[in-house]
A = this chain, B = another copy of it.
Amino acid sequence: MTVTQSEPVTSGVAATAARPARAPNCGAPPPPHPKPTGEDRYTISEVAEHTGLSAHTLRWYERIGLMPHVDRTHTGQRRFSNRDLNWLSLVTKLRLTGMPVADMVRYAELVRLGESTFAEREQLLTAHREDVRQRIADLQSTLDVLDCKINIYADARRASERF
């Protein structure tokens, strides 16, 4: 049994009841632009274009163990699958929300190790969730200050414009 990468789908003994047949995919985007030919083997530049990451960054992610092993052509060029794209979409979200690369690498490693790591994965994500919540609170409180200051400047401007 293989374990999916970006979608730890309920499988085996775990919670197969009481859930829709279609496993929840946690907001993974629909296959982005599946090739007109129906293929599933994107070049690095296609993926770069699609994800907004540079080709350099994509190679670097693979080198440090953040990509779960990308398929290759017989001549050694990378060919990314839709599954890879989904994984990258998760990674991008985590990165945007400030998860350190080392933590993402750890998570990738846990995913490779299979189901036995569910508990640690849960912990890791839960910790990050707390982090994200805290950051939202910080941002919100700054937003209040910004609103207030901007109002002051705007009032001053409007007042001076009246003359």
Contact = CB atoms under 8 A, between A and B. Distances in A.
Interface of A: 8-10, 13-15, 19, 24, 26-27, 90, 93-94, 96-97, 115, 118-119, 121-122, 125-126, 128-129, 132-133, 135-136, 138-150, 152-160, 163
Contact of A97 (B8, B9, B15, B139): B139
A157 B122 contact: yes
Given A139-B139, A159-B15, A153 B118 contact: yes
How many copies of the polypeptide does the oligomer hold?
A: 2
A152 B10 contact: yes
A132 to B, nearest CB: 5
B10 A155 contact: yes
Contact of A140 (B14, B136, B158): B136
